[in-house]
Structure 1
Amino acid sequence: MDGVSIIKEHQKSIIDIIRNTTRGDWKVLVLDENTEKIINATVNEDDILNHNIANIERIEERREPNPTMDAIYVISPQPHIVDCLMADFERRRYRSAFLIWTGVLPDTLARRVDAARRQIAAPPQNLFVDFYPRESHLIAFQDPSSFQVLYNPMCNDLVARHLTTLAQKVAAVCHTLGEAPKIRYYSPQTATHEAGVLSFHLARFLQTEIDRLQKLDPNFPPQTTRPQSILLITDRSMDLMAPLLHEFSYQSFIHDVLPLKEQPNGKITYKMVVNEGLPNAEETDSEITERDKLWVENRHKHMADTIERLMKEFKSFIAKNPNFAGKNENETSLNDIRDMLAGLPQFQEMKAAYSLHLTMSQEAMNIFQKFKLSEVASVEQTLATGLDEDLKKPKNVLDQVVRLLDDPAVAPTDRLRLIALYALYRDGMIDQDLLRLLWHASLQRARDSTDKVAIENLELLGARPLKTQLKEVPPRQSHQPLFPPNTKTAVESEEYALSRFEPAVKHMLEDLCSGTLDQTCFPYVIPPQAGGPSDDAFQTQGSLRSAAPRWASANRRQVENRQRIIVFMAGGATYSEARACYEVSEKQNRDVYLVTSHMLTPAKFIDDLRLLKSDRRRLQLPMDEPPKKAPAHLFERPAPPPQQVRPPQPGGGGAGGGAPGMGMGGQMPPGGPRPPTKALGAMTLSSGPGPGGPSGGGGGHERTSSSATGASVGDDKEKKKKKRNIFGMKKDK
């Protein structure tokens, strides 16, 4: 899609500040563990080295002193990192230092650093890039513990500190994009859970951080002709259906059903066999990246469309290369195409991309058929939308749910997701009914099972999974959805009937762009002035742009003038919500960026629900870990220089070392003991032991009496001698 990529903006910010600091002179770049991960997320090492960086080093690791070269420190404003920096200053490890902090340095730490200003070559700078761009319009903080901190009652004392951290990171995203947005936040009107005020407090914290950045950086935000951006703050409790449903867009579905591995810096890999069936077959981790054109073009398409497009494009390749096809192209299946790709050594890059996506598509569809996901998803859509496929009020919903719970072909995790969706659909059921459903699903059979706990803990996110009695007196007011479902759009096909549900984020963005977003549910932190421009002031202009011919959409100036909308989802976002943001961007001619603490999959969401009332010690939260300390080796005193060895005296012995107690060349020091030359000369193999031991070896350091080794000995010595063998050792009796 068009628009400014946060990946490129993140990369540009890092490269620009390094280039402007080196200014053509060679320097060392010093990073810490955190900044190294952040930089590696978007910048290649070669790109850094090409800007007069002689070497890249880690501040926590052992390093050789380099007092003839300056160093650029790109480091985190953390106490233990400041300790590492001060250790470098004390050792004068580099000639001088250029400091670049990835956040605002607290005053107490700033005073410590200022005390060493003689070694600092220039005023410290800030580089607000403490986040991980996942896609062109998707940003994550890679902090899955955020969910527990925000919603687990045992973590209440951590919430304020965590909200401050989140606000600083969201502000860093705004600074990188050059936006000082108007802030609106989700304010549920009937919230009964403690976390119902999270968005309100986070919005206040974020406004404070934006104001502080404007004071620190007089050039923020830069002058632009774009309309002022809008930042919407919401949290996971706004939409509990999205992380439970099976979403059949390509990206969402493979993250749901395939064993994709997420790296700490947000990179995604899939383990697959390359050249399967050939002698050079090997297992490898294939990375799914933004550089993969096939991935970017297909990730938000429905699985049916993705497979059709992949096969169509590959058949087109076969038509252009008739010698490659081994059978009728009309009979080519996904498995046939995979086999053909194994014989394509001359098209390595294309082969790798097609192999990856055809393999993942085939594996995903195998799971779709094996676990009857078509039937499961049909009921899920009814529960999530409250409407059947004909967009009418559904009938016999419980019977459909129970039938699937009793079906052994349905996976246990899918059964639990069905029960959770049914509890949300019913807005609560009595405890006995929940136990019956779990029994039908063959769940909660073990004493230590947490399946029931996972359902009950939805209450901490604002839902009501249980109620005390069948008929409440007075009856509770019927729960109204935040955004009522669309009952006018007909379902296009059977495949799309399984994708009727749209995340609340999409409805929120569409209402925002049309100027109809409820200011009661989504108030401003700073209300707009009366008579001032509203969020929909540029709606007409946006519509005119969208009506322009396609060649106009490629105009860079038009893209730069598009209004930017930033959505922050606290507690984790789903890939279906990421898809919704891209779709609104395309349809409404705006740039929508989704920012979140981490990306959620259904399995991850269920696991988090299980732990929501667990003791803090079980959670192993990073915030509960002891404060990090600078490595001890940074404070070690350098070893003293080795003492010079005196040259050997004239007339000394050979080059080898002498015996203990001797000087250089084997000479005895003056006044020292003399070697027992006479005794040694008279010793034979049959001689008795000397005073120092059985073989007389102890005489090397003491004078030895000649009577102990003489030719004649007394009778008592002769008797003892007869009891010894030829080596002077006593014989066994």
Structure 2
Amino acid sequence: MSMEPPLNVMDPLPSLLSKMISCTSTGMKTLLLDPSTTQSVSVSLSKTNANAQELYLIDLLGKPQQAVGGMKALIYVRPTIENVEMICREVREANYSEYHVFFSNILPESFLSLLAKSDSDKLIRQVHEYPLDYVPINKDLFTINIGGSVGMSQCWGTSRERGVQTIMERELQGLLSMFLSFKKPIQTVIASAEPACQYIASEVIRRSQEDDIYVFRSSRPTQLLVVDRSSDPVTPLLSQWTYQAMVHELLGMNNNRVILKGAPGVKQDLEEVVLASVHDPFYDANKFSNFGELGENIKGLLDEYQKETRQNQNISTIADMQRFMERYPAFRSQSHNVSKHVALMGELARLVDVCQLMDVSAFEQELACTDAHAEHLRELVEKLANPSIKTPDKVRLGLLYALRYENTGNVSMVKQHMSNGGVPPDKIALVDTMLRYAGSKSRAPGLYGKRDTFSALKKNLISSVQGVANVYSQHVPLLAETIKGAFRGRVPEHMKAYKGGGELPKDLFIYMVGGTTYEEARMVAEFNRENEKNGLRVILGGSTIHNSCSFLDEVRAL
């Protein structure tokens, strides 16, 4: 049995931040970031930890700084020419007494020369590479956090390739930094047939072989699997019913921030809230809880808070007052945390009711999991004519129908019913765009296939054994079959092995070009939990993390 600890995407960055801060002398420090590293740091460094490590201020590099005497500056940014030029300008202005510069990926030698030339007063005390050029989200989920990857994957291998090379390079840099941060050798690489996936696979191998920085020893066989979002366009279109995925779908989650401004009854201090595992134990424990469980658990959180409040009301002595003041910061934090989750749950429940999402979601699951054209067409026409169902939901239903019944149904008639139901022409045009992007002739095989029979059996079993609530979670992302096949050594016909082979993987890295979803992340987390004793581990990453809106925005841009 390997003694290597299980992979956890959340581990490397806190460790690197501690190294960065501790390798400078004591005293107050400012941490200067770029937009990319800000995203990473925000999920790994709490305000309490920052204060404990003498971080006076966290700010953006390039923002005008006031000269602050003896304070030191830590700079942690991506190694881009824009960032290097901003560092050079900052050092020439000498707003801080000394600079400690850290890059989130490999720094070209030419950039190092620029830094040296600008530092005439020798203020730069150290320069380090800490490769961590991605954003950790869950312990088994990361994102490069770059948009436009759906378009990039469609352009790659065509005459439009040059226009999207920046996106491709960003994805490659982020993916390679993942292996560097874990010190994992790239032993086996398998890629889907799409040109973008094949290029990423071949470049990962070429670059890792040309530079001995990627040479590590590991007793655990490691495999990289590169797949394309177009292989499963259904999962991003479905309503979600677990906390993390539901918040992202209905409210949107950007860098762990959720905007509640404008929601009925939400107080000013809750108009923007943060959902991040490192800051919030309740969220960490409940991000995969379904809507029903979540309501019960939030009630338990509220009951516990009320119990604490009653205890704090019994202050009758000086000793009681002292004990309360010692606990006051934690009590205030607990109060905000409870209010945050109650507000989120209230807004989710309101939207579920207003948008009739239970009814809509049940039908989405039917379209995704079973083949019953006459029944589905009849119900779809009814829902498209229903004024209570919102336009975005009508669009998603029309797309789910078109994807399943592209060759056997009446897509033209459905588009007409969408128009009659108030769907604007540009949204109806998404049907044809989606079929060009991920229709039966464009996507990899396996989206429906033999899974229909299994899904129908599973539906009957779940409904009879576990209750009707599971009607909303029948669908299993295609990625589940891909993962099972990888650990059994079965490479689908449409995929190509670029390197290695033979030994079955223990650690499987999956990178989804075009973006992944929180539903797929939940499935990966469930797989990891069930296979912990077997020593198997999956890490899922993607260009971005989609909800239905962001996915359709990228498809529309095609």
- Shorter-chain TM-score bucket reads 0.7 to 0.9
Question: Cα offset for 1:375?
Answer: 2.8
Greater Rg, structure 1 or structure 2?
A: 1
Aligned match of 2:139 in 136, 139, 156? 136
Query: SS in structure 1 opposite 2:244?
Result: helix
**Structure 1 residue 200 corresponds to structure 2 residue 179:** no
Question: Cα offset for 1:93?
Answer: 7.2
The one-letter code sitting in structure 2 at the alignment partner of 1:416 is: V
Aligned pairs for 1:137-536 (under 5 A) are: 137-151=140-154, 156-188=161-193, 196-211=194-209, 215-216=212-213, 221=216, 225=219, 227-257=220-250, 259-260=251-252, 262=254, 266-271=255-260, 284-290=271-277, 291-311=279-299, 348-387=332-371, 396-428=375-407, 432-444=412-424, 449-464=425-440, 481=448, 484-485=451-452, 486-487=454-455, 488-489=457-458, 490-491=461-462, 492-513=466-487, 515-528=488-501, 532-535=502-505
CA contact (8 A) 1:275 1:282 kept: no
Query: SS in structure 2 opposite 1:409?
Result: coil
CA contact (8 A) 1:236 1:461 kept: no
Query: SS in structure 2 opposite 1:104?
Result: coil
Question: Cα offset for 1:287?
Answer: 1.9
What's 1:655 paired with? none
Query: SS in structure 2 opposite 1:142?
Result: coil
The one-letter code sitting in structure 2 at the alignment partner of 1:585 is: N
Q: Identify if the C-alpha distance between structure 1 residues 216 and 68 changes in structure 2 by more than 3 Å, giving closer, same or farther.
A: farther
Aligned match of 2:556 in 610, 615, 619? 610
Q: Which sections of structure 2, spanning at least 5 residues, go unmatched?
A: 313-328
Q: Identify if the C-alpha distance between structure 1 residues 440 and 454 changes in structure 2 by more than 3 Å, giving closer, same or farther.
A: same
Q: TM-score, normalised by structure 1?
A: 0.62
What's 2:515 paired with? 572
Question: Cα offset for 1:275?
Answer: 13
Q: 1:329-378: per-residue Cα shift (whole Å, max 9, x none)?
A: xxxxxxxxxxxxxxxx9954444333333333333233333433333222
CA contact (8 A) 1:183 1:233 kept: no
Query: SS in structure 2 opposite 1:179?
Result: coil
Question: Cα offset for 1:52?
Answer: 7.1
In structure 1, C-alpha distance between the alignment counterparts of 2:8 and 2:527, rounded to whole Å:
16
In structure 1, C-alpha distance between the alignment counterparts of 2:56 and 2:271, rounded to whole Å:
32
CA contact (8 A) 1:138 1:578 kept: yes
Q: 1:99-154: per-residue Cα shift (whole Å, max 9, x none)?
A: 43322233443444455688487774211122222233222222223333333689
What's 1:100 paired with? 102
The one-letter code sitting in structure 1 at the alignment partner of 2:376 is: V
Question: Cα offset for 1:8?
Answer: 3.2
Q: Which sections of structure 1, spanning at least 5 residues, go unmatched?
A: 189-195, 325-344, 388-392, 467-477, 536-562, 613-733
The one-letter code sitting in structure 2 at the alignment partner of 1:292 is: D
Aligned pairs for 1:529-568 (under 5 A) are: 532-535=502-505, 563-568=506-511
In structure 1, C-alpha distance between the alignment counterparts of 2:403 and 2:264, rounded to whole Å:
46
Query: SS in structure 1 opposite 2:484?
Result: helix
CA contact (8 A) 2:221 2:504 kept: no
Q: Identify if the C-alpha distance between structure 1 residues 288 and 463 changes in structure 2 by more than 3 Å, giving closer, same or farther.
A: same
In structure 1, C-alpha distance between the alignment counterparts of 2:183 and 2:355, rounded to whole Å:
47
Query: How many residue pairs were aligned?
Result: 522
What's 1:14 paired with? 17
Question: Cα offset for 1:240?
Answer: 0.6
Q: Identify if the C-alpha distance between structure 1 residues 403 and 34 changes in structure 2 by more than 3 Å, giving closer, same or farther.
A: closer
**RMSD (Å), alpha carbons:** 4.1
Q: Identify if the C-alpha distance between structure 1 residues 313 and 27 changes in structure 2 by more than 3 Å, giving closer, same or farther.
A: closer
Q: Which has the higher contact order (CA 8 A, sep 6+)?
A: 2
The one-letter code sitting in structure 2 at the alignment partner of 1:418 is: L
Aligned pairs for 1:36-51 (under 5 A) are: 36-44=38-46, 47=49
For structure 1, which segment, 596-605 or 95-104, has the greater mean C-alpha deviation from structure 2 after superposition?
A: 95-104
CA contact (8 A) 2:88 2:119 kept: no
Q: Identify if the C-alpha distance between structure 1 residues 464 and 283 changes in structure 2 by more than 3 Å, giving closer, same or farther.
A: same
Q: 1:489-522: per-residue Cα shift (whole Å, max 9, x none)?
A: 3123211022110111222223333x15335344
In structure 1, C-alpha distance between the alignment counterparts of 2:148 and 2:397, rounded to whole Å:
25
Q: Identify if the C-alpha distance between structure 1 residues 124 and 355 changes in structure 2 by more than 3 Å, giving closer, same or farther.
A: closer
Q: 1:282-336: per-residue Cα shift (whole Å, max 9, x none)?
A: 6542322213222222221221222234345656877999999xxxxxxxxxxxx
**Structure 1 residue 585 corresponds to structure 2 residue 528:** yes
Question: Cα offset for 1:241?
Answer: 0.5
Query: SS in structure 2 opposite 1:400?
Result: helix
CA contact (8 A) 1:275 1:281 kept: no
Query: SS in structure 1 opposite 2:235?
Result: coil
Query: SS in structure 1 opposite 2:521?
Result: helix
The one-letter code sitting in structure 2 at the alignment partner of 1:456 is: D
Higher helix share: 2
In structure 2, C-alpha distance between the alignment counterparts of 1:600 and 1:139, rounded to whole Å:
13
In structure 2, C-alpha distance between the alignment counterparts of 1:302 and 1:54, rounded to whole Å:
40
Question: Cα offset for 1:210?
Answer: 3.4
Question: Cα offset for 1:420?
Answer: 0.5
What's 1:675 paired with? none
Question: Cα offset for 1:602?
Answer: 1.1
